[in-house]
């Protein structure tokens, strides 16, 4: 006997819609079991993790801050994934985008102008897009695996940014700590609330999500992305180029990751330092799939995963669990999302070895 997955002839639209909610429910159940195994009260643990952050104004604002880069990166990844291209290196594009965007306020520190911030955002998008172009051109020209190349480039970006903030761009007045000079006011994203941390990067993320949703659902380019992603052979018959789509998808994905990078540098930190790499590029993969690769769904999914970050920090303080335990929730969420999607499209059957030989 062996287990096989057989494609279902009809896919339930209802279960397709409910899949993310089912995955969330399963994650909560698995999380409760994890708290029991750790010797913690599961109800108190889940309350601290998922409910308590929503009751505190500061925590709600921090959820918005963390959801901003997650959403921007994830909507770019959605374009890649829907086109059949697997960009696993958004973390590297995020870092290079942050570095490119910081170039102007670092090299021209005394320059203050209304043009500074728009130029920083454009430079951030250009840096991320150019870095995303590397695995795209390697795949389209040489047939290399974009999963491996994009992932390996993450570590190149991490080391390069770390060298920059410790070497040529390090603030001489920074007491030896790695990091650039703090940006002047013209280089900072304005805050949404006068005394809060949430910045207008959140507004940019929503605008970008709406724009990409319109492109994917209402334009010929969106139709081309869908056709090539679902059936490259049909796309070739329609006259669409898979190689050009690879370049396009990676450029869009890299640009969104780069925008997230400079948004984090300009809106949250106020300078480029060695702590920019927080794993957002990897966590955004969960956000993209939880949002069903739909930019509007990704906005909601970004808030959910941001809640897991803030709730995890609260759980470490309130009930004394480690940061590794809190990260388990993110892994569980991705596992259950993919498992639900698999079971929606395929059914599990037992096949006898005799029948298999026949």
Each residue's pLDDT tens digit, 100-136: 999 999 999 888 999 999 999 999 999 999 999 999 9
pLDDT digits (tens, 9 = 90+) for 204-226: 999 999 999 999 999 999 999 99
The Cα 41–Cα 37 span in angstroms is 10
Average pLDDT, stretch 340-354? 79
Given a cut of 70, whether residue 200 has pLDDT beyond it is yes
Contact (Cβ atoms closer than 8 angstroms) between residue 307 and residue 296: no
Residue scoring higher pLDDT (21 or 137): 137
Average pLDDT, stretch 342-353? 80
What one-character DSSP code corresponds to residue 273?
B
The Cα 299–Cα 257 span in angstroms is 15
pLDDT digits (tens, 9 = 90+) for 67-99: 999 999 999 999 999 999 999 999 999 999 999
pLDDT at 353: 62
Share of the chain above pLDDT 90, in %: 64
Share of the chain above pLDDT 70, in %: 98
With cut-offs at 50, 70 and 90, classify the pLDDT of residue 355: low
With cut-offs at 50, 70 and 90, classify the pLDDT of residue 246: very high
pLDDT at 357: 56
Half-sphere exposure of residue 154: CA atoms within 13 angstroms, side-chain side? 19
pLDDT at 352: 73
List the alpha helices (DSSP H) in the chain: 13-37, 42-46, 52-55, 57-82, 90-107, 116-142, 146-166, 201-218, 220-230, 232-237, 242-263, 280-290, 295-318, 323-345, 353-357
Instruction: Provide the phi-psi class of 56: left if phi over 0, else alpha when psi is between -120 and 50, else beta.
Output: beta
The Cα 150–Cα 165 span in angstroms is 23
pLDDT at 266: 95
pLDDT digits (tens, 9 = 90+) for 311-335: 888 888 888 888 777 778 888 888 8
pLDDT digits (tens, 9 = 90+) for 143-182: 999 999 999 999 999 999 999 999 999 998 888 889 999 9
pLDDT digits (tens, 9 = 90+) for 33-79: 988 988 889 999 899 888 999 998 889 999 999 999 999 999 999 99
In sequence order, what are the residues at sequence separation of 6 or more whose Cβ sits closer than 8 angstroms to the Cβ of residue 131?
Answer: 92, 93, 96, 97, 153, 157, 254, 258
Given a cut of 60, whether residue 247 has pLDDT beyond it is yes
With cut-offs at 50, 70 and 90, classify the pLDDT of residue 356: low
pLDDT digits (tens, 9 = 90+) for 257-286: 999 999 999 999 999 999 898 899 999 999
């Amino acid at each position: 006997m062996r287990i096989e997955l057989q494609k279902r002839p009809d896919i339930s639209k209802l279960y397709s819609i409910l899949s993310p909610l089912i995955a969330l429910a399963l994650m909560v159940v698995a999380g409760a079991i994890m708290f029991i195994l750790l010797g913690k009260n599961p109800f108190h643990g889940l309350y601290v993790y998922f409910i308590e952050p929503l009751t505190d104004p500061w925590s709600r604002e921090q959820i918005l801050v963390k959801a901003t880069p997650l959403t921007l990166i994830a909507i770019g990844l959605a374009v890649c994934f829907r086109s059949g291209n697997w960009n696993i290196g958004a973390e590297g594009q995020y870092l290079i985008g942050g570095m490119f965007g910081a170039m102007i306020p670092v090299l021209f520190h005394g320059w203050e102008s209304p043009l500074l911030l728009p130029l920083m955002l454009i430079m951030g998008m250009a840096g991320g897009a150019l870095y995303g172009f590397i695995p795209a051109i390697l795949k389209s020209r040489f047939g290399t695996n974009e999963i491996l190349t994009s992932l390996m480039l993450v570590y190149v970006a991490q080391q390069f940014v770390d060298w920059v903030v410790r070497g040529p761009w390090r603030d001489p007045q920074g007491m030896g700590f790695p990091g650039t000079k703090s940006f002047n006011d013209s280089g900072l994203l304005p805050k949404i609330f006068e005394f809060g941390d949430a910045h207008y990067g959140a507004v940019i993320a929503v605008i970008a999500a709406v724009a990409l949703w319109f492109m994917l659902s209402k334009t010929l380019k969106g139709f081309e992305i869908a056709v090539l992603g679902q059936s490259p052979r049909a796309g070739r018959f329609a006259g669409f180029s898979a190689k050009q789509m690879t370049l396009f998808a990676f450029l869009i994905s890299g640009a969104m990751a780069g925008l997230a990078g400079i948004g984090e540098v300009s809106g949250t930190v106020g300078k480029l330092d060695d702590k920019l790499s927080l794993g957002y590029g990897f966590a955004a993969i969960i956000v993209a799939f939880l949002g069903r690769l739909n930019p509007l769904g990704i906005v909601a999914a970004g808030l959910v995963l941001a809640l897991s970050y803030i709730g995890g920090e609260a759980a470490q303080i309130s009930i004394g669990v480690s940061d590794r335990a809190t990260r388990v929730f993110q892994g569980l969420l991705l596992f259950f999302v993919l498992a639900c999607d698999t079971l929606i499209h395929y059914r599990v059957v037992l096949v006898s070895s005799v029948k298999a030989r026949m």
